Amino acid sequence: MAVIELTGIKRYYSFGEVTVKALDGVDVTIDRTEFVAIMGASGSGKSTLMNIIGCLDVPTAGTYVLDGMDTSGATDDGLADIRNKKIGFVFQGFNLLQKTTALENVELPLLYDRAGGGKDAMKKAKEALERVGLGERLHHIPNQLSGGQQQRVAIARALVTDPAIIIADEPTGNLDTQMSNGIMSLFKELNNAGITIVMVTHEEDIALWARRKIVLRDGRVIREELRPAAPREEV
């Protein structure tokens, strides 16, 4: 069943006379429990696509149905609520609140949950951190954690609201190979447990962890590759 349905997505930026077509008619469908890598050179539109999937940006044209809900016409507040409930972000630069403990960082999305999901915020945050293997580091602040650990905290923060998808933007871009492998196998593990993951990357070997690869160029999808059994799945 499709969790993301993008139809004819266009995103134009106009700078006075000049119009840049960051996305120029993208159709992508992603099913539940998929692990998709979006690839492309810089300027290919992959970041724009990620922003639209993540409801940080809205398309100029086209429809985006997320988890059975059409997002077009959603207000700012509506988009904020979608980000809160249905989407978990993992960024290249971790984007954790500094001088704030791992536990509090993970609690953050729950504090903005208007449906009362923030009730046992502490308990949920703790569980999420245990799930990413940081049960022992609850009260450490980002400065006291390694890059890999910081990214795990970010993943825990993405998981804590039980979202429909996790969007990872170059999640290993700031990490060395060993840490990268750790993070990618965590993603794999989460995906195996049924979590849908959309990852943007430009590194081929990172993209190999995904089951499907979508390649963009100049704002269009130029290639899709399906990999029934990814070579590294056994790692």
Partner 1 sequence: MNASTLVRLSLRSILRNRMRSLLTTLGIIIGVCSVIVMVAVGEGSQASIRDNISSMGTNLIMIMPPRGQNAANRLVIEDVEKIRKEGVHVGAASGVVRSAQAVVGGIGNWPTTVYGVEPDYLRIKEWTTGAGDFFTERDVNLRAKKAVIGMTVAKQLFPDDDPVGKRFRIANTPFEIVGVLESKGSNAMGSDQDDIVMVPLSTAISRLRRSRYLQSIEISAASEDRMDDAQAEVEDILREAHRLSPEAENDFSVMNQAQIIEMASSVAKTLTMLLGAIAGVSLLVGGIGIMNIMLVSVTERTREIGIRLSVGARRRDILRQFLTESVVLSLSGGLIGILLAVGLSHLLESAFGLRAIISPFFILLSAGFAAAVGIFFGYYPAHKASAMNPIDALRAD
With beta carbons less than 8 A apart as the criterion, state whether 174 and 182 touch.
no
- Reduced to 3 states, what is the DSSP secondary structure of residue 76? helix
- DSSP, collapsed to helix, strand or coil, labels residue 63 as strand
Which residue number, 33 or 95, has a Cβ lying nearer to partner 1? 95
State which of residues 5, 24, 81, 127 lies at the interface with partner 1 (CB under 8 A). 81
Number of residues that bind partner 1 (CB under 8 A): 26
Contact with partner 1 (CB under 8 A) among 11, 124, 126, 157: 157
Please give the residues from 164 up to 203 whose contact with partner 1 meets the rule CB under 8 A.
none
Query: Does 97 sit near partner 1 (CB under 8 A)?
Result: yes
CB 46 within 8 A of CB 214: no
59 contributes a contact to partner 1 by CB under 8 A = no
Nearer to partner 1, 80 or 230 (CB): 80
Q: Does 113 bind partner 1 (CB under 8 A)?
A: yes
For partner 1, the binding residue among 108, 122, 138, 208 (CB under 8 A) is: 108
Does residue 85 bind partner 1 (CB under 8 A)?
yes
> 197 in helix, strand or coil?
strand
Binding partner 1 by CB under 8 A: which of 96, 166, 168, 197? 96
**What is the distance between the terminal CA atoms of the chain, rounded to a whole angstrom?**
28
Which one-letter DSSP state was computed for residue 91?
-
> Is residue 42 close enough to count as binding partner 1 by CB under 8 A?
no
- Can you spell out the DSSP letters for 164-193? SEEEEESTTTTS-HHHHHHHHHHHHHHHHT
* Residue 77 binds partner 1, judged by CB under 8 A: yes
Q: Which is nearer to partner 1, 85 or 212 (CB)?
A: 85
Rounded to 5 degrees, φ, ψ at 105 are -60, -40
- Between residues 154 and 179, which has the closer beta carbon with respect to partner 1? 154
113: left (phi over 0), alpha (psi -120 to 50) or beta: beta
Measured from the CB atom, is 51 or 196 closer to partner 1?
Answer: 51
